[in-house]
């Protein structure tokens, strides 16, 4: 059998040299893998931070009163119909209560008052609530005409005519015609007040008495 002779032009490599070459290649491959892992980890952290920021960032609220087309909004515009509806809903909530519900009525209604009017109402709220609970007073208010509205320099005035009955327990105390003029201003929308309207003045006017 013919033996294979090593090529005299190629240097002979010992086992130790081959080991170190393989070790060096393995280390180089490991270093490349570590770089890839670090890069992917960095990208993952950036994505997670962006996700957390997106979730925790407060979102702007947009109220589009009377919108009929999805995605269409008119900046700084509130349709008159929405103003009238808002004022009517607020007054009906404010004027209809029983001794058991009056505290909830006050709490819900006060969210829509301007700071100045809120301070004024707070000053007398405790006394009024105590009187309603003590005397077992109830109030029932119904509209007798369509709401009317005037606008002057950004101030909305909604005029609401109605009939109000006052009851002590089950006994009717009075039924009178009343007119309320609510003055409203635009405000920043909030979670409690997405309508972007605040009531800054309430004026009561007596009208002719009405029969039952």
CATH code for the domain of 188: 3.10.450.230
pTM (whole model) above 0.85: no
Give the pLDDT confidence score for residue 55 in this predicted structure.
58
The answer, yes or no, to whether residue 3 has pLDDT greater than 70, is: no
Same domain, 185 and 109: yes
Give CA–CA dist 209/120, Å, rounded: 29
Same domain, 130 and 25: no
The mean per-residue pLDDT over the stretch 42-65 comes to 64
Which tokens in the block code for residue 170?
Answer: 């089950």
CB 62 within 8 A of CB 188: no
Which one has a higher pLDDT value, 50 or 20?
50
Cα 178 versus chain centre, distance: 34
How many Cβ atoms sit within 10 Å of the Cβ of residue 16?
A: 8
In this prediction, residue 212 has a pLDDT band, given cuts at 50, 70 and 90, of very low
Same domain, 134 and 103: yes
Same domain, 49 and 89: no
For residue 40, what are the domain limits? Answer: 14-57
Same domain, 40 and 113: no
**Structural domains in the chain (count):** 2
The answer, yes or no, to whether residue 136 has pLDDT greater than 90, is: yes
Same domain, 32 and 136: no
The mean per-residue pLDDT over the stretch 102-116 comes to 90
Same domain, 49 and 122: no
In this prediction, residue 68 has a pLDDT band, given cuts at 50, 70 and 90, of very low
**62 found inside a domain:** no
Give the pLDDT confidence score for residue 134 in this predicted structure.
94
The secondary structure of 24-75 as a DSSP string is HHHHHHHHHHHHHHHHHHHHHHHHHHHHHHHHHSPPP----TT--STT---T
Same domain, 25 and 88: no
Mean pLDDT of the chain: 79
**85 found inside a domain:** yes
Digit-coded pLDDT (tens) for 157-195? 999 999 999 999 889 999 999 999 999 998 887 777 778
Give the pLDDT confidence score for residue 67 in this predicted structure.
47
Closest CA to 88 of 31, 162, 16: 162
């Amino acid at each position: 059998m013919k033996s294979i002779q090593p090529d005299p032009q190629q240097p002979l490599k010992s086992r130790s040299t081959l080991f170190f070459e393989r070790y060096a290649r393995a280390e180089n491959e490991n270093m490349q893998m570590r770089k890839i892992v670090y890069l992917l980890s960095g990208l993952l952290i950036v994505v997670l931070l962006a996700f957390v920021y997106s979730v925790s960032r407060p979102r702007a609220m947009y109220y589009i009163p009377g919108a009929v087309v999805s995605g269409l909004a008119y900046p700084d515009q509130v349709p008159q119909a929405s103003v009238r509806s808002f004022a009517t809903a607020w007054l009906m909530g404010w004027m209809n209560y029983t001794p058991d519900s009056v505290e909830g009525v006050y709490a819900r209604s006060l969210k829509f008052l301007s700071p100045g009017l809120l301070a004024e109402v707070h000053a007398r709220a405790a006394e009024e609530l105590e009187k309603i609970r003590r005397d077992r007073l109830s109030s029932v208010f119904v509209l007798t005409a369509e709401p009317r509205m005037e606008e002057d320099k950004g101030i909305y005035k909604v005029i609401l005519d109605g009939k109000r009955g006052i009851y002590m327990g089950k006994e009717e105390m009075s039924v009178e015609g009343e007119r309320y003029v609510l003055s409203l201003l635009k405000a920043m929308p909030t979670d409690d007040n997405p309508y972007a309207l605040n009531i800054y003045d309430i004026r009561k006017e007596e009208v002719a008495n009405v029969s039952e």
